[in-house]
Amino acid sequence: MSAPLLQAQNLSVQFGGLRAVSDVSFEIWPHEVFSLIGPNGAGKTTIFNLISNLYKPAAGRVIFQGETISHLAPYEIARLGIARTFQNIELFEHATVLQNLLVGRHCQRHSSWWQDLLFTPRVHRTELQFRRHAEEVIEFLDLQHYRDSMVVGLPYGVRKVVELGRALAMQPKLLLLDEPSSGLNVEETEEMGFWIDDIKNDLGITVIMVEHDMGLVSRVSDRVLALNQGEVLALGTAAEVQAHPGVIEAYLGGVDDE
């Protein structure tokens, strides 16, 4: 078994008096789908923000591929191969879907601004390469129809898919999905499940997922971490965690809660 891809060690952060994340530790192995579940306010998205360094931890650190990354700027985290989606879609509204995906290739660029200004042959070549990669993502997610549409006019379900596509366009090693199925209907959620399977199996990307839909979680996850009020409740396979009494009480609801 290889080394863990990501390690969170004793992560803690607080906002004012509120301990949002308290001494959370876990490991993510390559090519697995790892889910974070828990009630609202449990600190799941906060952990994502700690991994992408949008928040600085008060204690603890994050290790990616053996290197501590807690001191890096968010854009450097992206360069390492960590991509993420956002809970409340953060797309580039006044750009087309294609342009959104092309931004995903940004980490692969080699030209500086003045080369772009002159549009040197090298820039030209790289642009075509980027376009090819973006088209692969479009094909993977069936976004052909929306390729040249402005994001601002698209329906919610499509935007969620574009958000996913943009993260995939980065060809990351690790993908953080924040509530991929929220706001989606049953059919779209099922499709999302298939895509997550394909991402893991065909693209070989490791996925960490924050999710509320337990059906989706059981279907795709290899392991699940349950959080409550910033602390770890349980860790194991989906079935193990769902059977854990603490998790049932805090989140899932037991038989006697009528």
Partner 1 sequence: MRFYFRTRYEQDLRLFKDNGQKFWYGLLVIVLLLAPWLLPEYFISQLVFIWIYSVVGLGLMLLVGYTGQISMGHAAFLAMGAYTEAYLQSKGWPFVLSLASAAVVSGLTGVVVGLPALRVRGMYLAIATLAFGFIVEEAVTRADGITGGNTGMTLGSLEIFGLTIDSEQRFYYVSLAVLTLCILGVMNLMRSPTGRAFVAIRDSEISAQSMGINLARYKTIAFALSAALAGVAGALYAHKLRFLSPEQFSFLQSIELLIMIVIGGLGSIHGAIFGAAFWILAQQFIVTAKDWLPAAIGQQTGLQPTVFGIFLVAFVLFEPLGLYGRWLKIRTYLEIFPFYRKGMFKRQKSYIKSERLK
Partner 2 sequence: MQFLQLVISGIAQGCIYGLIALGFVLIYKATETINFAQGDLMMLGGFLGLSFMVVLGMPFWGAFLSTLAVMLLFGMLMERALLRPLLGQPAFTVVMLTIGIGYLARGLVTMIPGWGTETHTLPVPYKDDVLRIVIGSGNEPLVLSMEHLAIIVVTAFLIAILFLFFRYTKLGIAMQATSQNQLGAFYMGIPVRRINMLVWGISAAVSACAGLLLAPITFVHVNMGYIGLKAFPAAVVGGFGSIPGALVGGLIVGIVESLSGFYLPEGFKDIAAYVVVLAMLVVLPEGLFGEKMKKKV
Residue of 22, 49, 228, 242 interacting with partner 2 (CB under 8 A): 49
Instruction: State yes or no: residue 14 binds partner 2 (CB under 8 A).
Output: no
Q: Which does 94 bind (CB under 5 to 8 A by kind): partner 2, partner 1, none?
A: partner 1
Instruction: State yes or no: residue 118 binds partner 2 (CB under 8 A).
Output: no
Q: How far apart are CA 150 and CA 236, in angstroms?
A: 42
The least CB distance from residue 19 to partner 2, in Å, is 16
Query: Mask: binding to partner 1, 66-105, rule CB under 8 A, as x and -?
Result: -------xxx-xxx---xx-x---xxxxxx---x--xxxx
Kindly tell me which of 167 and 250 has the beta carbon lying closer to partner 1. 167
Contact 50, 21 (CB under 8 A): yes
Q: Which does 140 bind (CB under 5 to 8 A by kind): partner 1, partner 2, none?
A: none
The least CB distance from residue 96 to partner 1, in Å, is 10
Segment near partner 1 (CB under 8 A); pick from 16-24, 34-42, 126-134, 222-230 = 126-134
**Please, where are the H alpha helices in the chain?**
44-51, 74-80, 97-103, 113-118, 121-141, 156-168, 186-201, 214-220, 238-243, 245-247
Query: Mask: binding to partner 1, 172-211, rule CB under 8 A, as x and -?
Result: ----------------------------------------
Query: Which residue pairs, CB below 8 angstroms and at least 24 apart, start in 133-140?
Result: 133/105, 133/169, 133/171, 134/98, 134/101, 134/102, 134/104, 134/105, 134/169, 137/101, 137/104, 137/165, 137/168, 137/169, 138/97, 138/98, 138/101, 138/165, 140/165, 140/168, 140/195, 140/198
Kindly tell me which of 40 and 112 has the beta carbon lying closer to partner 2. 40
Query: Mask: binding to partner 1, 147-176, rule CB under 8 A, as x and -?
Result: -----xx------------x---x------
Helix, strand, or coil (residue 232): strand
